[in-house]
Structure 1
Amino acid sequence: MTLKVTLRSLARPFVVCEIGTGSNANFWYDNWTELGPLIHLTGEKGPAVSGMHKDATVADALRNGHWWLSASRSRNAIISLLKQCLPPATPIVQSSTDDRYLWKMENESPTDQFSTAKT
């Protein structure tokens, strides 16, 4: 069990999620923003402070074509940080493709081709 967790944590930085509809990608834990997993930015308090459950998908965070907190007037630092970090919602709302998980090596573009040699 420990080996599985260790390998997962080693591989996690190399896996990025290309958002389509947002229905599969985890809002907090998947690497779908340019800044990496949002939980790394907000800490474990992010879900509680924002009101978005830790198991929420990216699609769950959308309301009427906008991020759920776009109308929030909260001055909480976590809410402000999230508002600044979230990409535009429009491409997700208009997408009909599935989310895709890709490999990303340091300075290369993400790809669906895994290479042991490059890893």
Structure 2
Amino acid sequence: MRQTIRQFIIHKVGDGNNTSTWYDTWSDYRPLEILISSRDIRRAGFTSDALVYALISNNVGSWPTSCRNKYPMLDLINPPKTATQECIRWRGVDGELVEFSVKVVWESLRPRAPAVNWYNII
């Protein structure tokens, strides 16, 4: 179930204290753990439980040079530079980001079947 839902959860990062650098989707790309090896994460001085906050220094986001050299696509991912409130968004089946709620999740994931002509009897 986690793998099914994970692709729809998007973190809108604020100060970075509640979002995993590697396992949460907070950029336009998938979780960074898919792109960067755990060995390179450790070599860059990060732990596997590092938060996005670790990328922010003096309100400026930056990647370690060793990571940018080996993974040039990181230059396309800008670490956040803000101290606003973090929130979780849901990417609907149409790709639109909406506020997370159980109702929205259910409507996105529930099985659908064609309406039958007797639906109003029940």
TM-score by length of 1: 0.72
The CA deviation at 1:55 is 0.5
Write the mapping of 1:50-61 to structure 2, written as runs, cut at 5 A. Answer: 50-61=44-55
Alignment partner, residue 69 of structure 1: 63
The DSSP-based 3-state class of the residue aligned with 1:118 is helix
Mapped to 2, the partners of 1:48 and 1:59 lie a distance apart of 16
Q: Say which is worse superposed, 25-34 or 102-111, in terms of deviation.
A: 102-111
1:16–1:104 Cα contact (<8 Å) kept:
yes
Equivalent AA in structure 1 for residue 84 of structure 2: S
Structure 1 position 102, deviation (Å): 1.7
Q: Which runs of 5+ in 1 are unaligned?
A: 1-6
> Deviation string for 1:50-89 (max 9, x for gaps)?
222110111122122333535x3677413x343x132154
Which residue is 1:87 aligned to? 78
**1:2-23: per-residue Cα shift (whole Å, max 9, x none)?**
xxxxx11111101111111111
Structure 1 position 116 matched with structure 2 position 106: yes
Give me the TM-score of the superposition, normalised by structure 2: 0.71
Match of 1:43 among 37, 40, 48: 37
Distance 2:10 2:43 in 1: 25
